[in-house]
């Protein structure tokens, strides 16, 4: 027993003890370094669940036909996935995007991303087809889950409930009785006038009436709202326009007023008040025509808006 004990003492000498300690320290350290990237990935990379994945619309394009997409609001950003497709917002209608294939040869499926003025993102998967199934897409009534205007502060509930509330309030405003009769503009058989101003929470509903007493249909090219401020520059005056982006327009799909007919539109905007030197301007332009209609709404009318 004793010799064996003496034999083992050699392994417990100071040098061998230090070597063993180094091994016990270095081996776990090396293992830690080797597994650090894996641990970092596990710590900082989260899985993409179904609730975080946004669906995309399917689009077909051709080199011989132009595809048009109508959005609820003005287009602020567009990204084309490849050079096989070309597109841009229509100059006189900022909420319409035109898209076309660059050549007649089929190309690998690509994508298109659009962001509109209300902060909503639309995603498309684009493929080639000589004869597309459709060439016009109207997204003015589309509200995807989780897509709500940044300006709308009307509810802290679910996004679907918010959209339902907005639609319901817009319908109520559209069928409200006319309360304002002193603001309007007539030109060349067309009449644009203010019917009512209503509000609910932080959203204001500007109710417009449009009458076409002419012999020609009136196609709406654009509907623009902005705040105009009068500024004094020396002895002359100047104006400064600040755009007011609508939260929604009811009914945005109705873009033609037939001759001897009328139309009601409701513009939902973030509730606002104005100083004395400012006016809310509503402007309607005619498609392929020169009949531009403009009304000016003062701070008094906005201040007397009725609850919805």
Q: What is the CATH number of the domain that holds 232?
A: 2.60.40.1230
Whole-number Å distance between alpha carbons of 59 and 99: 10
* Least confident window among 8-22, 252-266, 268-282: 8-22
**pLDDT, tens digit, for every residue of 240-263?**
788 888 888 888 778 899 999 999
Within-domain flag for 294: yes
Residue 163 lies in a domain: yes
Select, from the ranges 139-148, 175-184, 230-239, the one with the highest average predicted confidence (pLDDT): 175-184
Indicate if 19 and 78 belong to the same structural domain. no
pTM over 0.75: no
Q: What is the DSSP track for 150-208?
A: TT--S-SS-HHHHHHHHHHHHHHHHTSPP---S-EEEETTEEEEEEEEEEETTEEEEEE
| Residues 67 and 121 occupy one common structural domain | yes
Is 221 found in the same domain as 202?
yes
Instruction: Give the number of domains in the chain.
Output: 3
State whether 259 and 290 are in the same domain.
yes
For residue range 36-50, list pLDDT tens digits in order.
Answer: 555 555 556 666 665
Contacts of 286 (CB under 8 A, 6+ apart): 218, 219, 220, 221, 292
Q: Give the integer Cα–Cα distance in Å for 258 and 219.
A: 8
What SS3 state is found at 113?
strand
| pLDDT tens sequence across 145-185 | 334 444 333 333 445 566 778 888 999 999 999 999 999 99
Instruction: Give the structural domain span for 178.
Output: 159-307
* pLDDT for 148: 40
How does pLDDT run across 279-290, given as a tens digit for each residue?
999 999 998 778
Residue 31 belongs to a domain: yes
């Amino acid at each position: 027993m004793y010799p064996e004990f003496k034999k083992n003492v050699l392994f417990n000498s100071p040098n061998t003890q230090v070597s063993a300690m180094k091994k016990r320290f270095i081996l776990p350290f090396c293992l830690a370094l080797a597994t650090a990237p894996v641990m970092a990935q596990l710590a900082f990379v989260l899985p993409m669940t179904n609730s975080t994945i946004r669906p995309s619309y399917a689009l077909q394009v051709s080199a011989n036909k132009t595809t048009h997409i109508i959005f609820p609001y003005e287009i602020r950003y567009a990204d084309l996935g490849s050079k096989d497709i070309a597109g841009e917002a229509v100059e006189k209608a900022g909420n319409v995007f035109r898209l076309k294939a660059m050549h007649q040869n089929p190309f690998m499926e690509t994508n298109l991303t659009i962001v509109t003025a209300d902060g909503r993102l639309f995603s498309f998967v684009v493929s080639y087809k000589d004869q597309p199934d459709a060439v016009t897409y109207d997204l003015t009534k589309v509200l995807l889950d989780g897509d709500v205007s940044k300006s709308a502060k009307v509810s802290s509930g679910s996004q679907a409930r918010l959209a339902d509330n907005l639609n319901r309030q817009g319908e109520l405003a559209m069928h409200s009785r006319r309360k304002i009769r002193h603001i309007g503009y007539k030109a060349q058989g067309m009449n644009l006038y203010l019917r009512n101003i209503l509000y609910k929470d932080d959203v204001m509903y500007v109710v417009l009436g449009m009458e076409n007493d002419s012999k020609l249909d009136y196609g709406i090219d654009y509907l623009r709202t902005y705040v105009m401020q009068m500024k004094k520059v020396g002895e002359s005056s100047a104006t400064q326009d600040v755009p007011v982006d609508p939260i929604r327009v009811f009914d945005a799909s109705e873009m033609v007023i037939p001759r001897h007919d009328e139309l009601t539109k409701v513009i939902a905007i973030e509730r606002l008040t104005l100083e004395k030197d400012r006016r809310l301007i509503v402007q309607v332009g005619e498609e392929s025509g020169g009949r531009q209609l403009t009304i000016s709404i003062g701070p008094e009318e906005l201040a007397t808006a009725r609850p919805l």
